[in-house]
Every structure is written in structure tokens, then in C-alpha cells.
Structure 1
Amino acid sequence: MDQRPRLDDVAARVGVSTASVSLVLRGAPGPSAETRRRVLEAAAELGYRADRTASMLARRRRHLLGVMLDIRNPFHAELVEEIQAEADLVGYEIVLSTLTRHRDEKRAVETLLDFRCEAVLLLGPDFADQRLGALAAQVPVVAIGRRVADAPVDVVRSADHLGVSAALTHLIGLGHRRIAFLDGGRGAVATARRRGYRDAMRRAGLRDEIRIIPGDHTEEGGVRAGRLLAADGDPPTAVVASNDRCAVGLMDALIRAGREVPREMSIVGYDDSSLARLAHIDLTTVNQDAPAQAKFAVSAAVQRLDEGRRERVEMVLHPQLVVRGSTAPPPP
């Protein structure tokens, strides 16, 4: 049974009408200063909180943006924090729906639709373009972090090929030639970064040095790759990882195996997440400008909802390499 205090409980405590209590809590004119003081005190004492869902239903417009994220991804957590800040500025609230080991994209999106979100922001979605197009026929969709070639959805992403190229340019400048790529799996984001690695190695004249190590976008995937490389009699001198999570797992496995990073092997991640900035990790990585991605994504959704924009827009940001302590010249 719901025992939460209600509006009429506050009204009974103060001895005024529920209409007066509503005016006070909404900051609307009418009640006297003394009434306002007593209502606010009573609401605090009772622990009353307004039912925002009922309030939004009464206004017809819900002003809810749904956000799908991978709860295990620290970069997604940072993006959500920035999205919330941007939504606050324009008078919207966000509803989060998470991906986990047991909860896929289909279920996560269905939850957002069940909450009647007016638009959905998808962080790194792996849905096929056709599936994204079908979703866009129901609500405005913003895909964050990946290219979408053939669907009427708005897109904000970093230029992954430039980010991977910057990582390789840095390593080549340090003297590395045997540079491997720790793969991120079958998803759209991982595919773009893998393609960027191959293209950049070819442009650098290192076609024969191309080596892709199987992995995924998890710490566990990085650990498996690290164990493989630790047992390799002729390992690469540097590895570019598809994201920070697998880079950190790779680093952990190498260190546990007695390999020194970066003296024996340099490692570069991708995302510049909170993990990368920890002093004992100090990961060289690619920054995707989370604040700018969030600002554009929220703006794109609000333009469709409030201004009626119909044409598709895409924002491609230039990522920046952040050099830290996980890279150094190759061993002799």
C-alpha cells in the first residue's frame, strides 16, 4: 500500500485548502507569506514530494527524454550526467533505461516507450539502420556515438577514424611500427574503429604489420587479450584498444603477468573515461568531448519536439588524443 504523504495531508496539517498548498508548492502567486511558510514547513515535516508523473500527464506534454545506456560503461555515465545538465536547462527531464548482461537494446527501448518519452537518445546503439528507422517512425531518435547511413534519425558522433589515426600517429612518432588493435567486437562503434585502424596503418605504410586481437568492449575482453599477449613470444610493442574498458583490462593482465607498461608495451584507449584519468592507470586515450555530444543531442531532440524540425541533422566532432603515461618509445 502506498503510504507516501499526499497533497491533502499537507493541507490538513496546515488547515488550508489543497488548492492553496498546490499554489505554494508551484511558487504561484496568491497565498500570503505566512501561509507559504507554514505549507513549506509542513511539506518538509511530512516528507511530501510532488508526483511529477501525474503533473506531467495533466499538462499533456510530458517533457521526458528517454536515454538508453550501457550501465557498465563509465563513458556512458559521463554522457548521461552531461545530458541531464542540458535537459535541465531547457525544462526537460530524462528517463534512463539500461543495458546489462541480461537486458538487451530491444527491452531497454521498450521501457522508454512505455514511459511515454517524447524522444529517445540512444548511446552507442547497435540496432540496424532499418530498426532505427522503425523506431523513428514512433518518436524522434538521436543516435549518439555511431554513424547511421540510412535512417531518419539525428546523429552526434566523433570521427572515429580521426581518433584512431591520432593514436597511431602518436605511437609511430614514438618509434613504434608493430602496433596491434584490440578489437571491440561486432557492434557498430567497434566496427568503425577497427576500420579506422586498418586504414590508418595502410596510410602509414604499415600494411604488413596489421594485427587485430579478438576482444570486446569490456574489461574481461581486455584481460583475455592481455593473457594472450603475455604468452606471445613475439608480441607487438604497442596496442590501440577499441575503448578504455578493454584497454584497462589489457593493462591489468599484462601487469599481473609481470610485463611493464609502457616500457615493454604501450597502450592507447578510446573515450577518455574516468577510468583513464586515475593516477595508477594514467591511460593515453582519445577524448570524444562528452559535453558537446550531450549539448547537440538534447538540442536536436528539443528542436524536433518544440520547433517541429523534420530534416535529419548530423554533428561529427573531431576527437582529441590525450597523452598520458601509458605510452613511451618501444623497447630496444
Structure 2
Amino acid sequence: MSCQWQTDYPQEEIRKAPKIPLNSPETQNSPLGRRPTLYDVATHAGVSPSLVSLFLKDPERISEKRRGAVQKAISELGYRPSRAATTLASTRTKSIGLVIDDYRNLWFVDLLRGMESVLSNLGYQVMLADSRPGKNRIKEATDGLLAMHVDALVLAAEPSEAMLSTTWVPTVVAGWRKGVPAGADLITNDDDGGGAMAASHLLELGHVRVGHLSGADGASAHRRAGFRRAVETAGVESIISESDGTSEEDGYTAACWLLEHHPDTTAIFAANDTMALGAFAALKARGLSVPHDVSVIGYDNSPLAKSRYLDLTSVDNRSDVVGIDAAHRLLARIEDPSLQPERKLIEPTLVLRGTTSALR
């Protein structure tokens, strides 16, 4: 049976959005008939331009009466501060860089959501960069964000060797990596415990031929170690199929190898939900159903796992909590650069759905 991965997907036509004329209603919302300026706000509020500038930077330093007048003027005129102008007037850009490893792996969605739940209320924006595997891609992605003068970085990808010696801005590494830059904080899910949790669940269901689809990154290594420890403690052989990456294609290829060399496998634990999706395809190609023939469990509890169609049992790495804690930590480091780096583990949870069942 061929296990070649199919990559010839039809290309969809990309349509360009129509340009909006400068004199359209979208640009004419202000009572002034043009985009209001900081000076317009000052005149409307009856205060000086410097006080409006101070309001935009630190409103608590202004009296309640004047603060109300400026806020009312901003609302009535529809004024929106220029981020570029604010950056020029300040040593901070109020932006946080987030480097992820692959847009195709949706685990980062909750991480980003958690970060923004803290940062957006404080006027910060998150700038996203993808460092999909490739020579110097992580360095290029990080350098691009630093060139935009971000105030801090979240690395949700493997740092390069050059990045391990130092950090240029406050940095949090989200998730286990092969290395953590000097001076950076680490906030991560307890992936060793999560791997053991997945294995224990399958063992409790009566499965003794359990395969694991793993990758080569730091998070996969910890999940693999936890899985191996749990099954070997139970006196069961650990069957591991390891790939260089953790994409859907990697999951498909790893599952094909597993099913060819261990056809009596009755349960599969994938290093993430995306690899689990590849395992579904490999099982389907062999006429096997989930969970009747083979139980499947993923990791990350990503939007893939939550979809009603897949209904995938998954270990929740609580990326939203990692994002929330990362944002709070970066804000603290921005205010006090002398703070020493911390290491924090977030406890995972197991979310049971329809892809795991007792051994039949």
C-alpha cells in the first residue's frame, strides 16, 4: 500500500480588495470633514496640545476634569492617535513581537488570544512572524520584529544558536524548546506530565499496543519522555515513530510507518493535533476506523480537536494561560528590566471526546 502524501491541492483565486477613494464616506466620519489632529482635540477640549499628548501617554497624571474633557473631545471628533507619531515621541512602541513556528499548526491561536486579552486593554498590539523551518528563518523573523522596535518578544519557536547567548529586549519563551536564550523567561505547559497523561488514559482503556507519533522539537521531546515513562512503568513496550517535523504530512508519514511495522497497534498518541489529523488519513487509507479499530489522542486541544467533525480527544496545553502569563511577565520586565528570568510550568488537562474508547 502506498503511503505517499498528496500535495497537489487546487490553487484558489485570490482577489484584491477594492481600493477606497480618499474622499469616500469611510474617510469622512469626522465633523471636521477630514481626519482630526491632536491640535484639533486640544482646541475642542480647551486645553494645550501638550496636555493631550500627556493624556495619550499617561492619562492618570491628568486631573479628572481635564481628562474627561479630552476624552469627550476625542469621542466627538472621532480622533485616532497616530501610532507612528506616538512612537517618535516615546522610547516605546507599545508592540510585542510573537514568533511562531508554523501557521499551519493552530496551537498558537489560544496563545495569541491569551496574550491579547491582557495587552489590548493597555494599548499594546501583537506583531506576528512565522519562522517555518528553513535556514535562518527564525533569525530573519526575529530580526524583522526587532527592526520594528518591538518592546518585547515571545518566542513560540525554536531559537537559533546565535539567539541563545543574549536577548535584546525582554523575552519570554512559550513552550519547551531545545534552548532558552540567556536572560529569557520560560513559560510552558508541563509536557512531560501531558505525555504521561495521554499514555495513562489509553492504558486505562485496556490498550497495550500503543504507538506514539513524535517530532524533533523541544516540546515533542518532553511529550515523548512522559509517554515513554508511563508505558514502560506499566510494563508495556513503547512504540515510537519520530519525524523531523510535526505537520499533518509528518503525522501521516509517521502513522504509515507505525502501521506497517506494528499492524497490531490499537491506539495512537500524536505529539499534536495536526499530526493526529495525518494519522486519521493513514488509518482511513487502510480501511481502519476511529475509535472502533484504533483510538487516537492528540495534544494542544487546538481548534482542530474542538471541531465537531473530528471530535478529537486531546491533552489541553492551556495555551491561553501560557499567553496570559507571558503577557503579564513581559509587562513586568518592560517596567523593571532588572527582574531575573523565571521558569513556570502550567499543568495540562485531558479533554475526552469521541476518538478514544475501550479496547474491543
Please, what TM-score do these two structures have when normalized by structure 1?
0.83
Q: Which runs of 5+ in 2 are unaligned?
A: 1-20, 46-51, 56-66
What is aligned with 2:347?
318
Q: Which runs of 5+ in 1 are unaligned?
A: 44-48
Matched residue type, 1:204: A
Note closer, same or farther for the CA distance 1:305–1:174 as it changes in structure 2 (3 Å cut): same
Aligned residues: 315
- Are 2:124 and 1:92 equivalent residues in the alignment? yes
> What is the CA distance between 1:77 and its match in structure 2?
2.0
- Are 2:170 and 1:140 equivalent residues in the alignment? yes
What is aligned with 1:80?
112
Identity %: 27
**What pairs up with 1:1-332 in 2 under 5 angstroms?**
13=33, 19-21=39-41, 37=76, 39-40=77-78, 50-69=81-100, 70-100=102-132, 104-123=137-156, 125-127=157-159, 131-136=162-167, 138-146=168-176, 148=179, 151-184=182-215, 186-206=216-236, 209-215=237-243, 216-231=245-260, 234-331=263-360
SS of equivalent to 1:67:
strand
> What is the CA distance between 1:291 and its match in structure 2?
2.3
Matched residue type, 1:151: A
SS of equivalent to 1:315:
strand
> What is the CA distance between 1:163 and its match in structure 2?
0.4
Whether the 8 Å CA contact 2:173–2:180 is kept in 1: the answer is no
Whether the 8 Å CA contact 1:144–1:155 is kept in 2: the answer is yes
Q: What value does the CA root-mean-square deviation take over the aligned residues?
A: 3.3
Whether the 8 Å CA contact 1:219–1:249 is kept in 2: the answer is yes
> What is the CA distance between 1:24 and its match in structure 2?
6.3
More helix by share: 1
> What is the CA distance between 1:323 and its match in structure 2?
1.1
SS of equivalent to 2:165:
helix
Matched residue type, 1:282: D
Whether the 8 Å CA contact 1:270–1:287 is kept in 2: the answer is yes
Matched residue type, 1:226: A
Matched residue type, 1:205: G
Which whole-Å CA distance do the structure 2 matches of 1:323 and 1:182 have between them? 19
SS of equivalent to 1:291:
helix
Please, what TM-score do these two structures have when normalized by structure 2?
0.77
Matched residue type, 1:82: G
Note closer, same or farther for the CA distance 1:173–1:133 as it changes in structure 2 (3 Å cut): same
